[in-house]
Amino acid sequence: MLNMTLTMAFIKISVKPRAISKMRPFLRTITLLSTLSLLSSCGTTTSGGAVGADRSQLLLVSSAQLEAMAVKQYAAMKTEADTEGTLNKDPAMLQRVKAISQRLIPQTAIFRGDALDWNWEVNVIDSEQLNAFCMPGGKIMVYSGLINKIALSDQEIAIVIGHEIAHALREHSREQVSQAMAAQTAIDIGASLLGLGAATSNMASSGYQALVASKFSRNDESESDRIGLELAARAGFDPRAGITLWGKMITASGGNAPPEFLSSHPAGASRVKQIESLLPTVMPLYWATQ
């Protein structure tokens, strides 16, 4: 409902009260139908685990659709990197990343049992980028710069990969696509019913992207931090490495980040604070493996 509220906030200033009054019955009907549609499309992709990650999600597209896209994109990336001679250039680094991932993957069953049946893949691209990701269906890619440029330990690499796996477990890509579909539909309906032009609709879309979509993305990142921390702890990696990891990331960024309010990622200090708050929950899981 935030997207519809934001749309109306943008458009109400340029529409006469009489026009709004005439359209109210139609708007109420559209709002009711939209609400029923969204409620029927809500669910959760995971159980909560120890950290609690089972909030309701808007899921308008299927897992199969996103996973099929991920398979194609991942294969294309591997082909391109292989052609450029940057795929798995360092066998020792590849083995290191695979060994860490193979300890993390069995822990995914805590959050969703079907993840054990995914066709997991782990590869490393030789690049200066500080980056890593896990596509839907378990397609992991780590960039060598992330490990080399800030000298990550195995414990810290596990925190990173656990975080990226969490995105796939929670199907955040699927959720983001669904949110974008719902938001654009609300914006288009509002603009059409009230006779507004493309400029107003585009302004509402921009407002949604800056103020609402980025909030969803920050929530996804925080959620993945929590799940990733638990995955790492259950796999026998010290979750306190999350604190040292973000200390290194903050130093590497040099403070050149957008304000947290308009950023798609929480600020490093916020992430450290969250990790510290979760240590009483996840440290016993880690100690149980030692």
Catalytic machinery residues: 164
**Ranges assigned E (strand) in 40-189:** 42-43, 57-58, 121-125, 132-135, 139-143
The distance of Cα 78 from the centroid of its chain, to the nearest Å, equals 22
Instruction: Tell me the DSSP string of 20-59.
Output: HHHHHHHHHHHHHHHHHHHHHTEE-SS--TTT-----EE-
CA distance 86 to 81: 5
Q: Which amino acid is at 32?
A: L
Q: CB-hemisphere CA count at 13 Å for 16? A: 4
